[in-house]
Amino acid sequence: MSIRISVQPTPNPNALKFVLDVPVKSRDSVVFKPSDKSRAESVPLASALLAVGHVTDVYFSGSFITVTQDGLADWDVLEKSLKDVISAGIDAHNPDFMLDAPGSCAPKLTGDLARIEQILDGTIRPALQHDGGDLQVIDLQDKVLRISYQGACGCCPHAAMGTLYAIQNILREQFDPAIVVELA
């Protein structure tokens, strides 16, 4: 099968978004890191991408893969290698894969957390996903919401401060004026 891969920059200079004309993750999204080697082995395309030098993070969502590097590689060289790996592995890739391990962005939430997810889905997530990333809600305790960034957002300087404050401001306006948002 011949696929099209377009490469888009992200606000994170160490991440690129590879957009395919086929799905890579049918439901939810997932991030793989080299420390997740055993999880990645169950998804050969993720494992192959993590094996490319300088890759620190691989994020699958919908029809795109965001790859983050350590900042030491030349993107022109690395991009070609990553496109080759994706092209070679996409035919055998199953976009319906499921994992029951940390790193999955599929929350099973109720009550206040479900309401927060709804607000994030309608406000913040579309922009993060457009930029090749996402966020995962970790927990809410005593009006402190802990989140974790995925994909391009994982080590992006914008996500650490500006985006975090934007999330907090939106949630203060639409959910609870006293909520505080922190990185997990």
Q: What is the pLDDT of residue 160?
A: 67
Structure tokens at 39: 């999880």
CB atoms within 10 A of CB 132: 28
- Residue 61's pLDDT band (cuts 50, 70, 90): very high
Q: What is the mean pLDDT of the chain?
A: 89
| Cβ proximity of 56 and 34 under 8 Å | yes
- Residue 101's pLDDT band (cuts 50, 70, 90): very low
CA dihedral angle for residue 122, residue 130, residue 177, residue 138, rounded to 10 degrees: 100
| Candidate from 27-31, 99-103, 111-115, 155-159 with smallest mean pLDDT | 99-103
Give the residue carrying structure tokens 């200079």: 13
Q: Is the pLDDT of residue 110 over 80?
A: no
Amino acid at residue number 139: D
| Cβ proximity of 39 and 60 under 8 Å | no
Domains of the chain: 5-89 (3.30.1370.70), 111-183 (3.30.300.130)
Q: How many residues does the chain have?
A: 184
Predicted TM-score of the model (pTM): 0.82
In angstroms, the Cα distances linking 180 to 41, 47, 172 are 37, 36, 8
Long-range contacts of residues 176-179, Cβ cutoff 8 Å, at least 24 apart: 176/143, 178/143, 179/143, 179/144, 179/145
Is 150 strand, coil or helix? strand
